[in-house]
């Protein structure tokens, strides 16, 4: 999972800037110019607003980074919860369907329909196997999100300490 950003040049000094989807206003890290992001359709344009002092720039950049990191942390946390909920729902329904196929296949075999019954048994086994495999893959994705959330949490704590040092 990668962050969504585009690379543009500063409207004032031409420095290379990474503009994230949620950014509307920020200060250039090179010249200190306050920049407004204007979005129209699928394009983005940077407009210089005003210059910022170097100390304010450092504080503003760290504050903006902290806000962005917190939003990204919340988005990843929500995505993790959705993935876990989807995993539980898929497993619940998948195991139920697999069990129904197994039971119906068993009863069909028991009452003489060998080919159809064995097909039902095999479909039940394959369904349960597929549900388990998909569940394990989703769990690996959740673990990957957990690592990213932990890293973001560490970066948020670092930014908060840095901002506390300005106060």
Given a cut of 70, whether residue 57 has pLDDT beyond it is no
70 burial class (0-12, 13-18, 19+ CB within 10 angstroms)? middle
Calculate what percentage of the chain has a pLDDT beyond 70.
83
Q: How confident is the model at residue 132 (pLDDT cuts 50, 70, 90)?
A: very high
Which position has the higher pLDDT, 166 or 136? 136
DSSP state letter for 125? H
Could you tell me which residues come within 8 angstroms of residue 8 by beta carbon, excluding any fewer than 6 positions away?
16, 17, 19, 44, 46
Mean pLDDT of 76-101: 92
Show the tokens assigned to 81: 């919860």
pTM, two decimal places: 0.53
Confidence at residue 93, expressed as pLDDT on a 0 to 100 scale: 95
Average pLDDT rounded to a whole number, residues 137-158: 84
Dihedral pair phi/psi, residue 16, rounded to 5° = -80, 125
Residues 93-107, mean pLDDT to the nearest whole number:
95
């Amino acid at each position: 999972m990668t962050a969504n950003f585009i690379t543009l040049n500063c409207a004032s000094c031409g420095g290379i800037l990474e503009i994230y989807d949620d950014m509307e206003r920020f200060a250039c890290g090179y010249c200190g110019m306050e920049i407004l992001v204007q979005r129209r359709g699928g394009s983005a344009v940077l407009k210089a607003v005003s210059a910022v002092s170097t100390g304010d720039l450092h504080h503003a950049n760290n504050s903006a980074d902290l806000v962005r990191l917190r939003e990204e942390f919340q988005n990843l946390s929500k995505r993790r919860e959705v993935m876990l909920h989807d995993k539980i729902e898929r497993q619940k329904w998948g195991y139920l369907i697999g069990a129904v196929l197994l039971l119906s296949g068993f009863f069909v075999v028991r009452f003489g329909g060998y080919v159809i019954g064995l097909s039902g048994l095999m479909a039940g086994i394959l369904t349960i196997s597929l549900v388990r495999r998909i569940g394990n893959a989703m769990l690996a994705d959740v673990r990957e999100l957990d690592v990213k959330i932990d890293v973001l949490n560490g970066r948020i704590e670092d930014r908060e300490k840095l901002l506390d040092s300005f106060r």
